[in-house]
Structure 1
Amino acid sequence: DVWDSKQVTAVEITFDGPGIFNVDGEVLEHDGFLRIRVLPAALQLLVGKDEVASAGPAEEAVLPTWRADPARWRMLLLYMFGCMSNQAVWIGFAPIESEVMTEYGVSATFVNFLSMIFMIVYLPANFPASYAMDVLGCRWALLVGGCLQTFGVILRCLPADPVTARYLVMSGQALAAVGQPFFTDMPPKIAADWFPAYQRVLADTLASLAMPVGAAVGFVLPVALGLRPMLYFHLAWSALFLSLTFLFFKAAPATPPSPTRKHHEGKSFGQELAAALCNGNLWCLILSFSCSMGSFNTSSTLAAQLVGPFGYSADDASIFGVVTTFCGVLGALAMSVVVGLTGAHKAVLTTCCVLCVLFALLAALTVIYVGDGPWGLELLALAFGGLGFSAIPLMPISFEAAVMVSQAGEGTLAGLCMSGGQILGIGQTLILGELLQSGHPRVAWILLGVLFLVALLAVSLFAPKGKSFDLLLREESSVEASRTSCSS
């Protein structure tokens, strides 16, 4: 029944009359003639018995058993809205440290812990979140994460004396932190559940971008509104997301977006996790992701402390943060387009890691040898922008590469990658913080660069067996063949 299965750049099909035709999950209406132009290596035309059945005259055509649901973009936007709110809750206290210290009568360490608790709580909460995604689906995972976050921000808004209020705030942050992996592990899962193969990298990238964009919004809100209005804004945002998810987020698309999505339903979570932990290729990817994202997150978190000893102010550090986020969005979009056109995950990951090493080296040389002298600010802004451009795309592309080399659930794979990043992020933050406090900022910068180099070495050992499109095509063909043999 599979009478054509190949990669093409263009195709023209003539039919007996008007009808519909399925191209990789997109059901196209035609008037008897269909011309399809395909971007290089971005799409395969898989024609099997479902397509044969749906290619006849309009009055005889039947809808195929798999197609892309038009509601997928609404589901993605709704997820991004919630993920941004979670990131804003995470980082909200950091920009107004002095106001928080005055309001609750706490130390700077307490304020830092309000953000660090998200990294600490993430590790035990990660696998329950992955299980909820891969077994119960995106809707239930978002409802659980949304409830935890909403209850947490309610606690932060309860009226109380300063001593009680500080514990309510910490408890609220802890609850929201438990809900974090229900958001941050979801990009590859929602991409696989709702999008056809040729749109998954784009969907994963857009979903992942909700994290840095949400953090950027989280930096702006407290400065613009102040502490108390920010808390109420977070509450309204979280409650609105939870309500919209309950009312409008679907449990599953009306039809699977691809044959492989039907094939992967109903697998054992425990067996998939055990197989993933025995996958050497996946461990290379996790190590590369952990070192690069851990170093990037640490450099972003400690930006003011890293550049302060060399004559730069907190305002300069804020400029570096804005440049990093802006360039990161551009980099993620650009790299996702490259992967979408070529399917070359390893080449793009290697390029990103090389750029991370080069820009980390530029930043270290600038602060050590130029300092706050002529062109120092511009060079350092270029270095931070380059780090954002090359490091932020590593998240969605690593998620999709992990799906290529492992049959485990997408939420589980994202959770493994993010857990490694969180562990190294916590360790690097503590070590670099100690180095900075003890007067060794140069050593801190050197350590950041070394870990980016380790990430590059790890990704060089990553060896996928083929390009993503070839793997998907072979798998979809085998699925179609197995269905044919079963029916016969």
Structure 2
Amino acid sequence: MVTKPSSDDDCKTYKIRWLILGLFAIYSASNSLQWIQYSIIANIIVEFYGVSSAAVDWTSMIFMILYIPFVFPASMMLDKFGLRKIVIIGTIGTTIGAWVKVGSVREDLFWVTFLGQSIVALSQVCVLSVPARLAAVWFGPTQVSSACSIGVFGNQLGVAIGFLIPPWVVPDESIDEITTGLYTLFIGTAIFSSLITICVIFFFKDTPPTPPSMAEALKETESKTNFKEFKTSLIALALNRNFVLLLLSYGINVGIFYAISTLLNQIILRYYPDNGTDAGQIGVLIVFAGMLGSVLCGVVLDKTRKYKETTLAVYILSLIAMIIFTFTLEIGIIIVYITSALLGFFMTGLLPVGFELASELTYPEPEGTSAGLLNAAAQVFGIILTSSYSEIFYSLDDVWANGIMSMILVIGCVFVAFISSDLRRQAAHNKQTTDVQIPP
């Protein structure tokens, strides 16, 4: 018989957890850097492949489309097979998709490049649900929020690379120069993904020898003695009023971020026609500011445990930043850099906060399931809001598009305000338990 620790103080963490977290962050980056790879040079892709702007937008939206039906089997696989297997599947898929795109650099092969992008997009389901689960499995209760933030940081780092590199590597020049640039971009991405796959296969581990917290230990015991089917977990989450409110508000915020990211090239070029490179750099600034926001929010959560309050504050500040961004686009490119950073800091900073609040509200349901549903909501709203933004942008203008997005953010703030602070996981952390016996 193995005696379970009686408190969080008796639980042990392992130094290898930082290697595991780092590997996941880089793997996540190798996938997400391909999300915006085409949209940020939309004008060049339109010229090279002879397709419409809407077709280029779909290279971004395909990530959202494919995530929705596959998030449920992916979450179920995460719960059943564990972290290692799901991460290996995701990194292999990402690498295959990247190499397919290498063979698409010809003016009549847009369908091949879209196929490769679709494979990468499908592999994304093995990325987005992982951070909360990895943090809970490997990190103690005082580090869970920070670890989750770092996991999300990897995804944001990849998006930043996806914004930055394509405008530098692929010139808006002759077809021959564009061809050379696309080859360089795709081959570099494929080699990077291949190296990450090798590292993950050899070094990424599933779980530590012992659980890092009482909450995780209790959940392990429950999973062995009273296994809950995935369907039961989904029903429990659907009936959780607080989680449904978070689901809607999170989807709205992230969906608007997706819309702005996808259309950023067109937005910037409308005001500054010769500043295509600036569009990529502004995208990078949005993401890096968001990384800082994510990490700081994670630290705030670890220090204060004020999950709902932090979520609401960040949401309101996202709304304010969106309004400022809307009415300062034409003032000057430097001002756009500043307001974009403000928008990214708060809007992207909400990502890990949402994951952690979901874990608190839904404990002891698996983190992978709640995170998967949050991301599914983000994809649904992302498709709707990106399509709507594009339609309004081209039919009216960006002020109307951004103004309507701001009004939708107000609705999201209301949803967050009505969430009650039923923090189940924190209650489990604080619960005094004595000598829980685990069957041998």
Q: Is this contact kept in 2: 1:353–1:391, CA < 8 A?
A: yes
2:425 aligned with 1:464: no
What does residue 403 of structure 1 align with?
Answer: 359
Residue 274 of structure 1 deviates from its aligned partner by 1.3
Which structure is higher in strand share? 1
Residue 182 of structure 1 deviates from its aligned partner by 0.6
Q: Which has the larger radius of gyration?
A: 1
Which deviations, in whole Å up to 9, do the C-alpha atoms of 1:317-365 show, x marking residues without a partner?
4443233222212211222111111110111111101111111122233
Residues 70-219 of structure 1 mapped to structure 2, 5 A cutoff: 70-101=15-46, 103-158=48-103, 162-163=107-108, 165-219=109-163
Q: Please state whether the residue corresponding to 1:447 is helix, strand or coil.
A: helix
What does residue 288 of structure 2 align with?
Answer: 326
What does residue 402 of structure 2 align with?
Answer: 445
Which deviations, in whole Å up to 9, do the C-alpha atoms of 1:118-176 show, x marking residues without a partner?
1111111211211111221110111111122222222222378653x333222111111
Which structure is higher in helix share? 2
- Equivalent position to 2:209, from 254, 261, 281: 254
Residue 389 of structure 1 deviates from its aligned partner by 1.2
Gaps of 5+ in 1: 1-21, 25-44, 52-65
Q: Quick one: which amino acid aligns to residue 339 of structure 1? A: L
What does residue 258 of structure 2 align with?
Answer: 297
Q: Quick one: which amino acid aligns to residue 286 of structure 1? A: L
Q: Is this contact kept in 2: 1:119–1:422, CA < 8 A?
A: yes
Structure 2 CA distance, aligned partners of 1:185 and 1:399? Answer: 9
Structure 1 CA distance, aligned partners of 2:201 and 2:317? Answer: 42
Structure 1 CA distance, aligned partners of 2:300 and 2:386? Answer: 32
TM-score by length of 1: 0.79
Which deviations, in whole Å up to 9, do the C-alpha atoms of 1:195-222 show, x marking residues without a partner?
1111100000001011121111122333
Backbone CA RMSD of aligned residues: 2.5
Q: Is this contact kept in 1: 2:23–2:200, CA < 8 A?
A: yes
Q: Quick one: which amino acid aligns to residue 271 of structure 1? A: T
What does residue 245 of structure 1 align with?
Answer: 200
* Aligned-residue identity in percent: 27
What does residue 55 of structure 1 align with?
Answer: none
What does residue 63 of structure 1 align with?
Answer: none
TM-score by length of 2: 0.87
Q: Is this contact kept in 1: 2:163–2:280, CA < 8 A?
A: no
Q: Is this contact kept in 1: 2:314–2:350, CA < 8 A?
A: yes
Structure with more contact order per residue of length (Cα contacts < 8 Å, sep ≥ 6)? 2
Residue 314 of structure 1 deviates from its aligned partner by 3.8
Q: Please state whether the residue corresponding to 2:35 is helix, strand or coil.
A: helix
Q: Is this contact kept in 2: 1:305–1:436, CA < 8 A?
A: no
Q: Please state whether the residue corresponding to 1:91 is helix, strand or coil.
A: coil
Q: Is this contact kept in 1: 2:214–2:428, CA < 8 A?
A: no
Residue 379 of structure 1 deviates from its aligned partner by 4.1
2:240 aligned with 1:279: yes
Residue 83 of structure 1 deviates from its aligned partner by 0.5
Q: Quick one: which amino acid aligns to residue 247 of structure 2? A: I
Which deviations, in whole Å up to 9, do the C-alpha atoms of 1:93-116 show, x marking residues without a partner?
233335444554444333332222
